[in-house]
Amino acid sequence: MSRGDDNRRAAGAETGPAGLYAREIPGEGDEALVLLHGFGGSHHIWDEVIAHLDSSRPILAYDLPGHGKSLDAFRDGAAASFARMILADLNARGMVSVHLVGHSLGGAVSVLVGLFEPQRVRSMTLLAPGGFGPEINASLLQQLARSETEEDIASSLRAMAAPSFAPSETLVRQTWKERSVPGQRETLERLFARIVRDGRQGAFTAAQLATLTIPVQLVWGELDPVLPVQQAANAPADFQVKRLPGLGHMLPLEAPREMARLICGI
């Protein structure tokens, strides 16, 4: 039975003491599924993925600091400070064991959570994650950050995906509503300046990635125009790497059913 069809569970949402918002879906067991979106997104990027999930685990789909309803949680820093805030929020919620799923920036945050507190993380699924190489299409990220209208947002999302992808009107409207909140675009510009410097992003070292001894799935679209799929070659040999033909950077939106299948396999 998929998440979308399971009427036994009630979905809720909560802002924790660290100011981080998460869509929370109760479930069975004490190992939560934690979903972390990418730059310029929100927890809504996971809506269709969650609808296809065949999993009984509790789910926390966060808005990262500076995004969505966690806008006011942004201070300074980027992925490392975000990871520490996620850990503080998990502590406050009593979540001792988690399975992490991170897309793009959320993938880099997931890796850092695993490096900071490896005993907490049971598995990790990284979808076109940041930090696996210095190359990044900075202009596409900045275009997304500066988008003001629904047309701008739709154009940016199309540019970050495979050529055949068209974002749903629902997602575009929701993203526009979030982007229209006073201070949202300015905050994304500040965050962009921390992520990208001289047209490059920070990258994990091979030694750092090698310390992740948990099961790690690394999933990458072969047509990714934001982060080159060749960065997957920088993963340790024990990572399970999946290169997906015909897909770009926006994997949770382009192939939600496939992403749900991969997540349920952890």
pLDDT at 17: 64
Closest listed residue to residue 65, CA positions, set 50, 87, 45, 81: 81
> Candidates 1.10.760.10, 3.40.50.1820, 1.10.3720.10, 3.90.850.10; correct CATH number of 3-135+201-264?
3.40.50.1820
Structure tokens that stand for 51 in this block: 């609808």
The label of the residue with tokens 């992003």 reads: 201
pLDDT at 266: 66
pLDDT at 19: 84
Rounded to whole angstroms, how far apart are CA atoms 24 and 12? 5
Rounded to whole angstroms, how far apart are CA atoms 136 and 120? 30
Query: Considering the entire predicted model, what is its pTM?
Result: 0.94
Regions of the chain short of the pLDDT cut 50: 1-10
DSSP secondary structure of 9-52: S--EEEE-TTS-EEEEE--SSSEEEEEE--TT--GGGGHHHHHH
Residue type, 173: R
CA angle at residue 94 from 91 to 100, to 5 degrees?
70
Please tell me whether residue 231 adopts helix, strand or coil conformation: helix
